[in-house]
Amino acid sequence: MGQSSQPEHEPPKADRHWINANTVRKSSKLMLAVFVLIFALGAWVTNGFTDTRITGPASDFSVFWGASHIALHEHPLHAYDIDKIMVVINQYGTLEAGSERILPWLYPPTFLLVVLPLSLLPLWPSYLLFMLATGWLYVKATVGLLGDKVDARQRAWMSVVSSPAVFVTVLMGQNSMLTAGLAATAVAWLDKRPVLAGVAIGLLAIKPQLALLFPVVLLVTRAWKTMASAAVTAVLFAAISIAVCGWDTVPAFFQSAHWAETNLVEQGGTAWYVMPTFLAAARAAGIGIKLAYAIQMSTAMLALLATAIVWRRTADTGLRIAALATATLLISPYVRAYELTWLVVAIAGYVGHGIRFGLSSMERGALVAAWLLPVFEFTNPLFHLPQVGPFFLAAMMALIVHRTLTHARVHTAAKPGLSAAAGMPAAVNTSTSA
């Protein structure tokens, strides 16, 4: 590879650590089999997911589909009416009438424009098509972060597809693979295709809170062309959305966002146990709302600073997207388990750097724990354990900053004839997988 002190004509040494490409591949196969079994059992229990007394897959997607149905048959503004969308979901979706669960439409008109065609197909075919399309973008962008040193036979894509974050996203029918895929694509294209990178960033207007860090990193790196492209894309996207859906959808969106802030964030109750944020952790621990917000804001500022440092100190795509994706999860007070697809992107970026410069035992263990974090978040409402998710994210951010700050020493240690002990661990097998 050029980074190892090993002569080029010799084959790379096998990675003898127990967390390596081989064990990751086998574990991914096992996890994927478990997920398929869960879906199969769910289909059996609910008579092919037709028994709406039991919440099955696509519950959140039924909100997307319901908003599309209302927009096409009535008026886009009515999608923000909780009573109207619940009637559609009860009739066509995944919940029976009389259910205590509320599934409101909480998205801006930009995403309403995106989901507008969904109800042209029945719910289930539309759900499958949406998951396949967004999943393809996500897997392609995430695996691409591992670089060209990964042997295709290692099936790196399986580690992404079998991740618990993807399982939760597919189970609920959420859009987090779309947003994470756009973010990863934008960072990967930043140098080679700056205008298209800006377009990908601008499209994140479907969930604007997930794009807050992009202006910061583009300013830090002086990526003016990408910044201009992102701004133009976002403005045009918003203008077209308002033209199609109506100006009234803008204040309706802000009203729904306020409803979500009050009912899901500040007074979330059980929802706090699926939200890996410091605000949710503080509220679940009994801390008052003002102090909880202060903790969240302090964390957000530190995450922003850490991201700026990483983007300023290294041009490595993997470390940059790792910092951006992790910090995005840290700064938002409202993050659900399915949005940990962004954390998988961060893991892939980190591993992509580790493939070239090595990963310590501690780093490997931390990455596996981060990969498994959605399991804890998704099941924690059953146990009401302390919300530890944000601490995992903070630890991940600390690892990214540390690796970035030692990056110069990595290059020094990787030169032929020098010991890797001066920097990070010696380079791992070039066929290492995520």
Confidence band, pLDDT 50/70/90 cuts, at residue 151 = low
- The span from the CA of 346 to the CA of 333, in Å, is 19
Instruction: Please count the CA atoms within 13 angstroms of the CA of 351 that sit on its side-chain side.
Output: 34
CA-based nearest residue to 276, from 413, 378, 160: 378
Hey, what are 374's tokens? 């959605």
Phi-psi region of 57 (alpha: psi -120 to 50; beta: other; left: phi over 0): beta
Among 96-110, 200-214, 292-306, where is mean pLDDT lowest? Answer: 96-110
- The span from the CA of 303 to the CA of 296, in Å, is 10
Among 9-23, 109-123, 126-140, where is mean pLDDT lowest? Answer: 9-23
Q: Is 98 exposed, middle or buried (0-12, 13-18, 19+ CB in 10 A)?
A: exposed
Q: How far is CA 80 from CA 103, 105, 107, 362, 428, in A?
A: 11, 6, 9, 47, 52
Does residue 426 register a pLDDT over 90? no
Average pLDDT, the chain: 89
pTM, 2 dp = 0.90
Instruction: Transcribe 322-384 into DSSP letters.
Output: HHHHHHHHHH-S---GGGGHHHHHHHHHHHHHHHHH---HHHHHHHHHHHHHHHHHHHGGGT-
Does residue 419 register a pLDDT over 80? no
Radius of gyration of the chain, Cα coordinates, nearest whole angstrom: 22
Does residue 148 register a pLDDT over 90? no
Does residue 412 register a pLDDT over 60? no
